[in-house]
């Protein structure tokens, strides 16, 4: 970015930060990962909806979700009628994950994962939420933009360049409504393949449990058992910081 250029600015729908923090502050703190949906206008990023797909793994210090959840989400968005209902959430604008009780930063693994996202879309932002921090809701959310241009990926943890989310004021006329987020939740219910999806907007959260679409057929007695094949599972993940970060805390 050249001197004088305006950097990206992330704003949430009014109330989205509060809903996210309340939703994520569970009795047992576990990490979750997902995506931020919204729209972009120049350097302004407007976030309206956070979706947490089924978690392949989640504990107090790591989480993972399958990459094919992105395809399911896009297919579901295309199914929503009327199509204008999805205009406030026309694209994925960020990668979201939580750091319950451990603060706002990008660990070494987070930096690597974020580089994968920005390789596909250079304008993607990384959002980290710690719902257990002190302060108001906006103090519990931090975000990062991609490094400038072809700058090399520096190892984490990244903390110094963390930015604070702001809220759109006043709310825009086409702010996503509860009914519109419900349309997307219904579409995910039809398009999804098992698991639990969480759709969080400024007005509340929908939990969706799609029926599994593909069930393995039982082997007939004459069928030989299948040969084992190693398929490394593709996942988007976040892991705890390295030892130096742990000691620094």
Q: Is the pLDDT of residue 54 over 50?
A: yes
State residue 3's pLDDT score: 52
State residue 13's pLDDT score: 98
pLDDT per residue over 117-157, tens digit each?
A: 999 999 999 999 999 999 999 999 999 999 876 666 777 78
Largest interatomic CA distance in the chain: 72
- C-alpha span between 223 and 232 (Å, rounded): 26
**What is the set of domains in the chain, with CATH numbers?**
9-213+234-244 (3.40.140.10)
Q: Is the pLDDT of residue 246 over 90?
A: no
Q: How confident is the model at residue 58 (pLDDT cuts 50, 70, 90)?
A: confident
Task: Give the chain's mean pLDDT.
Answer: 86
Per-residue tokens: 18: 């509060």
Distance of CA 57 to the CA centre of its chain: 15
pLDDT per residue over 35-50, tens digit each?
A: 999 999 999 999 999 9
In the block, tokens 């972009």 appear at 40
Q: What is the number of H-type helices and E-type strands within the chain?
A: 5, 13
Q: Under 8 Å CB-to-CB from 83, ≥6 apart: which residues?
A: none
Looking at the chain, how many residues does it have?
249
Q: Under 8 Å CB-to-CB from 203, ≥6 apart: which residues?
A: 15, 19, 176, 177, 178, 181
Helices (H), 132-200: 178-191
State residue 33's pLDDT score: 97
- C-alpha span between 77 and 186 (Å, rounded): 10
3-state secondary structure of 117: helix
pLDDT per residue over 69-104, tens digit each?
A: 999 999 999 999 999 999 999 999 999 999 999 999
Q: Is the pLDDT of residue 61 over 90?
A: no
Bin 204: left if φ > 0, else alpha if -120 < ψ < 50, else beta.
Answer: left
Q: Is the pTM of this model over 0.75?
A: yes
The answer to whether the beta carbons of residues 21 and 140 sit under 8 Å apart is yes
- C-alpha span between 74 and 229 (Å, rounded): 29
In the block, tokens 């250079």 appear at 122
């Amino acid at each position: 970015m050249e001197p004088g250029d305006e950097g990206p600015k992330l704003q949430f729908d009014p109330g989205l930060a509060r809903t996210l923090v309340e939703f994520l502050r569970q009795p047992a703190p576990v990490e979750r990962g997902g995506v931020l949906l919204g729209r972009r206008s120049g350097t302004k990023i407007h976030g309206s909806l956070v979706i947490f797909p089924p978690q392949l793994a989640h504990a107090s210090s790591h989480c993972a979700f399958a990459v094919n959840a992105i395809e399911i989400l896009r297919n579901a968005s295309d199914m929503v009628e009327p199509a204008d209902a999805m205009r406030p959430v026309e694209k994925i604008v960020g990668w979201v994950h939580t750091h319950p009780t451990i603060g706002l930063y990008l660990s070494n693994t987070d930096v690597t994962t974020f580089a994968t996202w920005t390789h596909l879309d250079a304008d993607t932002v990384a959002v980290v939420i710690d719902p257990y921090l002190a302060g108001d809701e906006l103090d519990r959310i931090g975000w990062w933009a991609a490094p400038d241009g072809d700058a090399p990926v520096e190892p984490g943890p990244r903390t110094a360049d963390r930015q604070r989310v702001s809220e759109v004021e006043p709310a825009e006329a086409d702010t996503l409504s509860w009914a519109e987020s419900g349309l997307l939740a219904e579409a995910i219910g039809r398009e999804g393949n098992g698991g639990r999806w969480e759709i969080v907007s400024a007005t509340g959260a929908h939990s969706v449990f799609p029926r599994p679409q593909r069930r393995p057929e039982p082997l007939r007695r004459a069928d030989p058992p299948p040969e084992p094949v190693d398929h490394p599972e593709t996942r988007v993940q976040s892991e705890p910081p390295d030892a130096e970060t742990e000691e620094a805390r």
